Structure 1
């Protein structure tokens, strides 16, 4: 009886513990979920910080693009009024030309009318002479005096008109001289301003040279001292995986004393490399690129090899001077990069163009000499190149010298240039002053000539008035018929005078029209010069947007898109988890209230399942005590053993399921990482051609979807156009083949295939896609030296020599023998 009571008491205690064990398990579950929520919140904060950091990095580029667009807008606003002014001037010029044609036509009509009037005058004079002979005895003495006076007055008028014509000619020449002097003055003023600008540029170059003298590394970029300091800090922190980077390359290069006269040519050849940096792994390259971007430096970064390469077999004969032989370099790594990328060991330096032409035709089949790719002369000509034998003028490097350690001589040369320019500037100033004085004298002469013309015209008017007075007196004593003829003659003379005056005025208007036409043409030329200057500035700003900033923004935009997507996904996950915790807390409060109604809280040391097992055991003991017999005991023991075995099997099965679930989760994570890596590699390979694309993996449907954009997303955002996304089936042959190569390389890299092969992969590619694809395949093969690449193609592989043949073996099959079908 006592045993049954004891079991009953234990059973009640276990029931109480089971109730609070369930409460405890829920409390622990909520605590675990809250801890998980805190971790996920931290992950969300990390992604938010990363997104904000990328946005901060994008701000300078977006700001610069906005500034460039604002500048383009300002230039366009300046350009439009100028262009409108040009149209107005052109419209006025057409009107002037029409007037000129009309004046010419009127001048021609005046000449015809003048000839007719002169003929009439001759006819009337002959008639008057005939009549005069008949009445020569009438008032002969008095009339003779009047005719003599008229003749003198006519001679005076003719002389004055001749003098007027001469003065008009002088006035026309004076206007031309004034226009010429004005043009010369404007020309000298432009040259004076150009000299000022050139002096400012040289002074700026001198200041840069002085700064370079204090710290030579600033010659390659103003922020290079801070960049090198950051590199040293990273080196002390051990962030460089393959060793400290090397650079800038120009710090290790100097021009030998005997060849300093070649400095401009050498700096022209190496201008894209002297500011470059070298690293020894692709991961270090990304870190180095981030440092350069931080300090707004666009210098290229090359992945270098630490092993020495013997390139002496690729050099020309010793008698030729090459760029490599004209410089000294303290780093073999830098030399190897210049040899691989700039071919400095195969570029000849020859004094004059004639010798260069001779040397560049002494090779096999009158071609280049062995191991020679190009040749430069000291005058700035490139004789021959990969494209053929043409001789072209080179745009020489005119900036501050970067490869000369002693810049004092260059500073002296620049100072001497400034002194010479100042002397020339003074002479130009004197020329401008002379032009002003000449112009003033010519204007004074013009004013004097106008006064002379006014005085002469007054004398002509007086003489004509006197002739008319005498003729009136003669008419009173002259027979009626002679008087009528003389009236007609006088009318003709008046018409001739009026016509001559009109002709003189018309000629002056023609001269003015010519001057206006010349002035309008000069204004149009000046406006064309300004328009071209604005267009060049606008094109430069657009190139900055489409090239420099787009290249830097591409990776940041990709990162921003990735982390924004991760942040949104994390935020949604946190919302679901927070809602789940709230629901669990509400359920816990309800269960706790029910538990308190059942009993006060008791301490629980076992789990609910263990307590339930203990309770079942006690209940079984109670049943045994109630119905105790031997057969029941035996059956109970057998059932106990069976249940115990079932319990062990169930525990093993639960552990196996948990292990399988963990493995499946890990496999899902591994599959996700592989997909992300393939996406990133595919996007990076497409960007080398200026494309943009993505791979979408649908693991549930076992599908792989390609998306390719044929335009650079950063360039499109900068220019304001929408991107154009193509379906892979609608791509051209070259685009499809290039996209396929990028897909295969990304999948190979993620799957780790030891042997990789392609057959006729470049059949449908153009030259640009073929070159980029071949370069990607070779770089991938070099980066994964443990793998073997086999490429089969019907194309000529001679162009891959520019990528180096150190790790490439080309096997060319013999051409197939075909039967002669004509037999």
Structure 2
């Protein structure tokens, strides 16, 4: 998209030594305030006597037609401008997507030790007492964006802004950067952070970072200028950022001429005027250059005529060159004959190079066959991994169990809530029943003594029925408790049985592995190379018999390696280094294929390492002696093996430890560069190594290995027998408890039936007793019975909920055991898969080595083919040259048969030319030189004439373009002025005033005329000069002017400091409301308004943020609080 044009950000030229390192030429000339004394382009002020445009007139000037006067312009455009203003009020824009401030932070700046401040997106009021540092916000904003320090009115250099007693200050500014027109959103994101530091020594720097503050995109001033230019942010524009001094000057004591300067600079009309002056000066300079060019044309034409005359006189000497031409024809065909001999030699060279390619191709084919075999090995490993299957079902089962556990926990929590609710209800009902008992006792005391015997009988029946119910309920509770205990015990028994089954399977696998290892150990008694692969002894014997390009292959490397503490570190070292320990090493890559064939002959796929015999010092890469590494855990009998394993496995930097915390504390001193293997915490699957490889680094001889694994088998067999017995006991125990559960369940159903019948009898006796009682007593008893029924119901429900909760708790234990079992299966599966992947990685490594050989031979073939192609290319070029020379010679002349060499013919030509020169000396130049002189003179004359005409046309076009632009500049100024007058009158009407803005563009003045409400009553329609207005009226009128001028500025930022210092309460309230309304109608602009007064009489909307600044305190940062 096209960039927005804005005043360039200028470096602090006035900062003196504080910013000397940042002085650079600004990409665009920036206006200063003292330059603003001219209100219109110089081209408009310089008027020639007529409007003619002579091509050679260097002093010709541009003449602007006299524009219509302001009254005629206003009459013609008033309605359109007013309609545009009304349309703008209706079409409210959205919040600005970029260019507005989000936050600012300063440290050791002016009076602030630290200040954090966040801005609202539309209207920001910063209030606080005098001396609280409000104006420092605008100063920090100006400096952070590269504005001049003297424009802040607070100091003449950066050093004066550093807090007293401090050496350095820092300003961090966050700018919004969203929307489709954001600045480099792929680098900065939704916000841009600009940070500037400067110190007492005069140093100053920028850091421009992304919105997170993590990445520094640039530190250059040009990037900041580009950001401000793109977002149209103009901090040096006095209309955008009015500091205390400029605001006070603008509001109170500004002269009409000063207001007009503010108008021109704020709307950037003055910048356009300056640039038009530069354009005019360039046009005038070009006109002078054109005059000089035109004066040179006659001289060039005379020089051409003179050269042409001399050329015609020398043309007679051409007859003497005929013999030279004949000799040149013979010389041309002599060159053709030489090129033919060269072609025949190059064709022979091509044939010789082609003979070398088949030998290299044969080696390439052998490597490709080896690659196919290795591909088969890789596919076999992939097949084993595929056959291993997937653990998706285990992961799915794990996810299901986790979900069920969460659901179980939620249900238990729900039951707990129900139990608490029922306990509360039971307590309330029991309290109500006791109250009813007291009322019944009082009523019965008033009854006659003759009814006492009958009541006693009924009471005994009631008590007997209640006692029976209590007994049955107590038994039901006992049954429920017994059921819970039995079911919980059975769940534990079931979980223990599942664990026993898993351990039994593991032990059976270990017994099988022990049998396999015993067999391998017995085999190693006859062959010490069993741990390293199949018939490695035969491999070594064949290596000894074979001839090699380099040193004899070294290996297997494990022959030369022992573990210093095999019981402690052997398992982890074997797991990590098995592939390297079984590897062979060669010094010449050409020996790899031969060694590979020997290994494959005995069905081995051991790793082949190519190493260089370099006895390098590896001590620099080791940690301190107190750190235990793999290198220090091993003992080597061959120095080359040490260095091979250092290069291959980095054993000097692998740290061993069985205490993680201690190791982490030690690693903090190593400064990185070392790897860690923690054991036995780390999950190792050494049993997945090829069976015999488990005998590496054990420190045991074959007999000890056999004894070790037979002992391991006996131990596993004994544990297997014990676990089998325990599993059988769990099964018997589970069956017996199941019978008890069934028995108690049947008894519970019987108790429930008897309890239901007992409650029916109690209700019948109660109803019979109630019929004999007075109405009040019967009512009490009925209420008590109802309360007791509800209590019994709640207790029954509580028992059911407690039972369900207990069942859920038991189920949770089972699910946790299942989850633990599933996790164990997942871990075991991962170990098996890791072992297969390690095996496949070894096969892939071999394939990569073969592929490297293929690449080598392929490249060699390509190089030879390229050499053939290059030789063929030379031959083809020679062929083409021969054909071209032959064709050129035919074009030059008919074929001339000659056997002479070109040098001999050339000598004859020189002799003829020597005689010819004697004649040409009389004329002072050769025919060719005269021809060149004629052509050169013609070209010089035509070039100057063409350039003069083109530049003349261009200069005319530039004059016409500048004339159009000047006319538009005038129209633009009139439109802005008219719009300013209308908006000014509109704002004055909020106070009931009437007034207007008078622009005198010739006198360069802007004058206000205001008629207040008291003038309307006292003086009729007489208008008042602002100097005769009261302080509040004057400030209010100037605020209306400022808002009118702001309407014509494209910058998204509006800053104003202490705008209400001269206002009374009424004018201030109306001014504040007017500014808030104006800002609300322009949501794409951000307003930052600073005032020392409070906001109690101002209505605050949701788009207004008011922040109060406390007085700064020594030794503490400044707090910003929302008012």
TM-score scaled by length of structure 1? 0.49
Higher relative contact order (CA 8 A, sep 6+): 2
TM-score scaled by length of structure 2? 0.37
